[in-house]
Amino acid sequence: MKQEGTIKQIGEEQIISDKFKIRTLWIETGGDYPQTVEFQAANDKCNLLGGLTAGQQVTIHFDLRGREWQNKEGETKVFNTLNLWKVESEEF
């Protein structure tokens, strides 16, 4: 999948464990009803966000990931992640 938009924010790298790190990217979509959407870069894909700046127009290529989680009370919830794997911009 892919989404075009303008970069609003690029998060700092977060080290989750010795084998897993993430970095987030927020973009604002265009159109009549713009949305702010958060994408996540994991491990070696964190490097894709270096050199990008707020205000830049980009196309994000991503996969949709989902997982179930059960809390202590037995309630099951579903979490979704937009996992980016490629970033295109006019500057690259």
Write down the domain spans for the chain: 2-89
CB atoms within 10 A of CB 83: 15
pLDDT, one tens digit per residue, over 36-90 is 999 999 999 999 999 999 999 999 999 999 999 999 999 999 999 999 999 999 7
The model carries a pTM of 0.88
Identify whether the C-beta of residue 41 lies closer than 8 Å to the C-beta of residue 22.
yes
CATH of segment(s) 2-89: 2.40.50.140
**Angstrom distances, CA of residue 48 to CA of 12, 22, 71:** 13, 11, 34
CA-based nearest residue to 15, from 39, 37, 46, 38 = 46
Region for residue 74 given its phi and psi (left: phi exceeds 0; alpha: psi -120 to 50; beta: otherwise): left
